[in-house]
Structure 1
Amino acid sequence: MLQACLNGARNRAECAHLPVTPGELAAAAREAVAAGAQDVHLHPKGRDGRDTLDPASVAEALTAVRAAVPRTAVGVTTGAWAAPEPGSRAALIRSWTVLPDHASVNWHEDGADEVARALLDRGVGVEAGIYSGTSAAERFLAWPDSHRVLRVLAEITDTDPQAAVRSAAGLLDTLRPAATPPVLLHGEGEAAWAVLRLAAARGLDMRIGLEDVLRLPDGTPSGSNAELVGAAREIIRQARGES
């Protein structure tokens, strides 16, 4: 499975064509799915352009994107930067009026289990975000409900490609006891493409988009999420030996 991560916690200062508004997210999702993405992850933004878990903003973004890609699963973030206190994040999730198909929960953040329970109670799939270089894997594996997550996001924080591949291999070994849920492996910045190639070679789920990387594999700036997805599909075809 290839997921398109449309915007992340970035802003327009980092990327002038970053999709921010519900309409922009809908257009970006439509183009990314047409290019070969099979799932969508996005960060709803408030009027100030920052990530938010506010029910109205989440509803507007999800409604617009679902109208654009009605047969594609759509997920959102629950990152602590959007609402630092775990109880507040869980309360916001319980107040959502439109529910995503799934939501990511970062296991290195305080209160990850509380946030995940709020999602599970509402029937929302949990993507367990496990950052390399943190205690997230151990904390997640110790959680009694780890088997209930939709998938594990193995998130490699090293931006040096060679170091990232080594970190990815180590993190995948650590996560082996949690191998029942699918694993989505991804990197960021200069390492994003090297990690995607590793994920493709191992037959893992993967993701690409402006959240993770702003440049194509040849180093040229990417003009859109769809362009990144197209490049990822070519790497996947090569890994599978397809012509």
Structure 2
Amino acid sequence: MVFVQVCLNGARGANDGAVVPLSPGALAEAAAAAVAAGASDVHVHPKSPCGQDTLAPRSVAATLEAIRARVSVPVGVTTGAWAEPDPAARVARIRSWTTLPDHASVNWHEEGAEEVAAALLERGVGVEAGVWSGTDGAERFVASPLGPQVLRVLAEVTEHDAAGADSAARSLLDALDPAHGRPVLLHGEEGGAWPVLRLAVRLGLPTRVGLEDVLVLPDGAPGASNAELVSAALEFCPGA
């Protein structure tokens, strides 16, 4: 079975266009449509009332509850440092969550990543180890004692140029080998999103797509929704 995670919104905001869902209700609608289109899993950035990424318990709970009312697939959230720059405060936020996601991404190059991951594991939340190209995240993750406990690795290619994204992806995968034997989800962003997704399909790896990673379809036309991006991604997947 093809595994395509939908990343609904990311750190994008209102300036990125009306198609990007921000409120719990809009995120729930987007998730439901994306899952109907074939998405196997949901990744979301809960937003504050002013539209900024947040780890606040009330916002996390509202977002998760709204999405889970519409879909039955796993739902995960970000723990990116931009949502809470202080690592100790990030851990405190996680420990204060009243509604738990199925999983949460932890960017391994960020300060405090090990502590954040440990706090999630203590609460029974699956950890997606975010390993970005162009950082020391792969080196840190391969050396991490928590590596064997993560749910999967999110190998994120940050090269936005389509011509360089393929080679950057292959270099990142080489750096992650053997990655503690954990599953690797490979994805890119912006101009590199579709080339990296095609590579992931060729290699038989899980992948993801959504308005967090790319705002356009493979032909360059604007994407109207997360569901449309998922449908386009599955066209590259044999047997989807």
User: What is the distance in 1 between the residues matched to 2:230 and 2:178?
Assistant: 30
Aligned residue type for 1:109: E
* 1:77 paired residue number: 78
Identity of aligned pairs, percent? 62
Q: Which residue of 2 aligns with 1:46?
A: 48
TM-fit CA distance, 1:236 = 1.1
Task: Provide the C-alpha distance between the structure 1 equivalents of 2:196 and 2:233, rounded to a whole number of angstroms.
Answer: 11
Q: Provide, for residues 150-208 of structure 1, a one-character-per-residue CA deviation record: whole Å limited to 9, x for no partner.
A: 00000000011121110100110111121511100000001100000000000101000
3-state SS, counterpart of residue 13 of structure 2: coil
Moved over 2 A (4+): none
Taking the aligned partners of 1:202 and 1:21, their CA distance within structure 2 comes to 35
Matched residue, 1:101: 102
Structure-2 residue corresponding to 1:58: 60
Mapped pair 1:234 → 2:235: yes
CA separation in 1, counterparts of 2:132 and 2:200?
16
CA displacement at 1:15 relative to structure 2: 2.1
Preserved contact between residue 142 and residue 180 of structure 2 (Cα < 8 Å): no
Q: Note the residue ranges of structure 1 that are not aligned, 5 or more in a row.
A: none
Residue 8 of structure 1 is matched in structure 2 by 10
Q: 1: CA distance between counterparts of 2:172 and 2:7?
A: 21
Alignment of 1:162-201 (within 5 A): 162-178=163-179, 180-201=181-202
Checking the alignment, whether the CA contact within 8 Å between 2:46 and 2:77 is kept in structure 1 is yes
- Match for 2:157: what amino acid? I
**TM-score, normalising length: structure 2:** 0.98
1:134 aligned onto 2:124: no
Q: Any stretches of 5+ residues in structure 2 without a counterpart?
A: none
The superposition leaves residues 97-133 of structure 1 with CA deviations (integer Å, 9 ceiling, x where unpaired) of 0000000000111000000000000000000000001
| Count of residue correspondences | 238
* Cα RMSD (Å): 0.9
Instruction: Give the Cα separation in 2 of the matches to 1:17 and 1:38.
Output: 21
